[in-house]
């Protein structure tokens, strides 16, 4: 007799399923590489490759031609190193005290963003350490990075510090007309001139689309790779993730009756309500709920949209399938994907697509389509 564990790879699984199109991921990288012109195109794969799975994303990106990656944390870099032995890997969140030798052992390059980090790295190098590192210069975001004056003071120490890259980060690139973009570009141009022998990197997904002036030597897209929106002025690339939830029950609800916790929404016609086996424990945010006063997000099945009804709970949510008579128990409805953009759901939840992707729960049954 088949066990639940054995059947998990088939039709049992969880309440939700996640389809990740690694071919779309690779095509998105190639599209961005074409746009980058002569600049090298890296990939930001922090947050478990924006929630889609580092172990699956990196081989697909590597096969497409990507050779440089950015992670946030050392443990992400250590995992990535096993997947891409020859890749260049930068750790964006800098140098954790006492870890210089450990990073170097995995050929991970910390992005040094303060004088304290630089002093510790300099002591490691003076003691014979052979690791490499990047320098982060703050050009107006006021988050990480040394000041322009501090960068100028480090210009003649680049070789001794083993610097391989100078970089900064744009704060408002998703708003092309924001004046901070031009100000940061000018400031970073100054910083890059302090280190003429080093490659320079400024552009994220949106920055890559501002103008070639922002490209420098290396661009490092993130959300654009995964099909998310990276600014109102720019069209998203191919969707990579499709999240679906299974219908566990279809029920009749009479006029004036409420659906879900808090009785926040009442139906205004005799309705067929489908209950889906997914909720905020699966990363589908409660704020995307619907109520009498405000429509929430929608799902998609059998070629049509089905609006959410009432509050999203931990494991369940409700959709109105009155106009989709073929909807039945066992069907799967798209929560976001090619028909319901992830950023549309995020807008209903008062957040951004990044947060939905990186919040994907562990209960989805994942299926990966072919890579590059």
CB–CB of 88/58 below 8 Å? Answer: no
Q: Is residue 70 helix, strand or coil?
A: strand
Neighbour count for residue 96 (Cβ, 10 Å): 15
Query: How would you class 293 by CB atoms within 10 Å of its CB: exposed for 0-12, middle for 13-18, buried for 19 or more?
Result: exposed
d(CA 275, CA 312): 10
Catalytic residue among 90, 214, 261, 362: 261
What distance in Å separates the CA atoms of residue 246 and residue 248, rounded to the nearest whole number? 6
Q: For the chain, what's the residue count? A: 372
Read off the tokens for 286: 């409660």
261 is a catalytic site residue: yes
Contact present, 70 and 42 (Cβ < 8 Å): yes
Q: Give yes or no: 63 in active site.
A: no
Q: How far is CA 245 from CA 96, 231, 271, 354, in A?
A: 40, 28, 20, 20
Q: Which residues are catalytic?
A: 46, 261
């Amino acid at each position: 007799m088949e066990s639940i564990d054995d059947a998990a790879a088939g039709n049992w699984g969880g309440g939700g399923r996640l389809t990740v199109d690694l071919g779309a991921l690779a095509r998105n990288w190639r599209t961005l590489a074409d746009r980058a012109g002569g600049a090298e195109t890296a990939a930001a794969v922090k947050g478990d490759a924006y929630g889609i799975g580092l172990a699956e994303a990196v081989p697909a990106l590597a096969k497409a031609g990507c050779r440089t990656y950015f992670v946030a944390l050392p443990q992400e870099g250590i995992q990535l190193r096993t997947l891409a032995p020859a890749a260049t890997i930068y750790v964006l969140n800098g140098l954790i005290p006492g870890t210089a030798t450990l990073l170097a052992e995995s050929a991970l390059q910390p992005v040094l963003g303060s004088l304290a980090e630089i002093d510790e790295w300099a002591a490691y190098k003076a003691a014979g350490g052979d690791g490499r590192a990047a320098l982060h210069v703050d050009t107006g975001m006021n988050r990480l990075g040394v000041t322009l004056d501090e960068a100028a003071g480090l210009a003649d120490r680049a070789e001794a510090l083993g610097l391989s890259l100078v970089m900064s980060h744009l704060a408002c690139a998703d708003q092309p007309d924001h004046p901070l973009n031009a100000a940061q570009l000018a400031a970073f141009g100054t910083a890059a001139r302090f280190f003429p022998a080093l490659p320079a990197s400024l552009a994220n997904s949106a920055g890559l689309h501002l103008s070639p002036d922002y490209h420098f030597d290396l661009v490092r897209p993130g959300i654009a790779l995964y099909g998310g929106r990276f600014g109102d002025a720019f069209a998203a690339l191919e969707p990579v993730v499709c999240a679906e939830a299974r219908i566990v029950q279809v029920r009749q609800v009479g006029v004036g009756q409420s659906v879900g916790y808090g009785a926040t929404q009442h139906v205004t016609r005799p309705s067929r309500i489908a209950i889906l086996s997914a909720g905020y424990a699966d990363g589908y945010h409660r704020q995307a709920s619907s109520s009498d006063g405000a429509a929430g997000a929608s799902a998609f099945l059998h070629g049509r949209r089905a609006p959410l009804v009432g509050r999203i709970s931990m494991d369940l949510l409700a959709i109105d399938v009155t106009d989709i008579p073929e909807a039945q128990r066992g069907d799967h409805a798209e929560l976001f994907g090619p028909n319901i953009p992830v950023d549309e759901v995020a807008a209903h939840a008062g957040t951004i697509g990044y947060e939905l992707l990186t919040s994907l729960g562990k209960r989805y049954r994942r299926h990966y389509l072919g890579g590059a």
